[in-house]
Amino acid sequence: MPARRVRGTIVVVTGASSGIGRATATEFAKAGASVVVAGRRKERLDELVGEITSTGGEALGVPADVSDQEQVEALIDQARGHFGRVDTLINNAGIGIAAPFAEQSIDDFQRVMDTNFWGAVYACRAVLPVMRSQDSGGLIVNVSSILGKRGVPYETAYCASKFALAGFSEALRTEVMSELIDVTTVFPGLVETEIFDSANNQTGLEMPDIVPKMPAQELARLLVQNALLPQPEIVMALDAQAINFVNTLAPGLLDVMMGQGLPFIEGFRRGAASSGS
């Protein structure tokens, strides 16, 4: 993949109202890009735009729900209308869910697919004609998850959405690579964000806090570096790399660890022994 520049480019970030997306928007702005920040919570976007513009950066907030194709098309139209081009699209918007498969509703399952998978598909469809019309093409970054490489219990919907996004992203990369359009898939491990509080957790369990989480700003800086020299994949940090390594060498071992880990995780049941519940 050829080297690119960041300064002076136009970067659209979905899910920019918090976490990885917010950090990514601020890091791109610091590196001299103009950013278009999207999400459903307008007040959060306004606050972010204020923060970026007060430090001399350029930002446009566009409220948009990525599960709605028309809103995603309007987002790309507004970005192009305002700045004249779209150099980089970062499909980052996502929601979490944890639920036993047989007990979760199909509506909840579809909501996860609509946001984590279809949202990115809609955005890619909308941005490709724009990138194809530009001499320098463009870069699409799809934020999957290490759970897009390895399935784990209670995450059937989330894993399905992230595997689907990873497969889509890899296929698209090979389809457009001769057109100066780069596609990077990102597979983060645990990142310190609100997603653990906002996720729809129907298990009655809490995730054991035993693995350190990567700061969102650190991942965001990697995404800026990647925009200079795009890679096919980013697997970050060590937790994700370890899971990927073991899963490639001995997937059966991880099956056993995940299956037998469940009783261990059950030990973290909210309020367990101490509250007597």
Sole binder of ligand NDP in the list 26, 185, 193, 226 (CB under 6 A): 193
CB of 134 or CB of 192, closer to ligand NDP: 192
Amino acid identity of 130?
A: V
Closest CA to 38 of 127, 109, 138: 127
3-class secondary-structure state, position 150: coil
Per the DSSP assignment, residues forming a β-bridge with 186 are 143, 234
Q: How many chain residues are in contact with ligand NDP, going by CB under 6 A?
A: 30
Sole binder of ligand NDP in the list 26, 34, 92, 185 (CB under 6 A): 92
Sole binder of ligand NDP in the list 6, 10, 20, 98 (CB under 6 A): 20
CB of 195 or CB of 258, closer to ligand NDP: 195
CB distance 187 to 149 below 8 Å: yes
Closest CA to 243 of 259, 254, 258: 254
Shortest Cβ 55–ligand NDP spacing (Å): 20
Distances (CA, A) of 121 to 53, 54, 142, 222: 30, 33, 10, 23
Contact stretch for ligand NDP (CB under 6 A) within 16-24, 149-157, 166-174, 203-211: 16-24
* Active-site annotation holds for 158: yes
185 is an interface residue for ligand NDP by CB under 6 A: no
26 is an interface residue for ligand NDP by CB under 6 A: no
Sole binder of ligand NDP in the list 13, 15, 35, 142 (CB under 6 A): 15
Beta strands in the chain (DSSP E): 10-14, 34-39, 58-63, 88-91, 97-98, 138-143, 181-188, 191-192, 200-201, 214-215, 233-236
- What do you get for the CA distance between the two ends of the chain, in Å? 55
Contact stretch for ligand NDP (CB under 6 A) within 124-132, 175-183, 187-195, 247-255: 187-195
78 is an interface residue for ligand NDP by CB under 6 A: no
115 is an interface residue for ligand NDP by CB under 6 A: yes
Residue-wise over 205-239: b if at least 16 C-beta within 10 A, else e? beeeeeeeebebeebbbbbbebbeebeebbbbbeb
Contact stretch for ligand NDP (CB under 6 A) within 122-130, 189-197, 248-256, 259-267: 189-197
Active-site pick, 28, 154, 158, 187: 158
Q: What is the DSSP string of 109-129?
A: HHHHIIIIIIHHHHHHHHHHH
Which residues are annotated as catalytic? 158
The binding site for ligand NDP (CB under 6 A) comprises: 14-21, 39-41, 44, 65-67, 92-95, 115-116, 143, 145, 188, 190-191, 193-195, 198
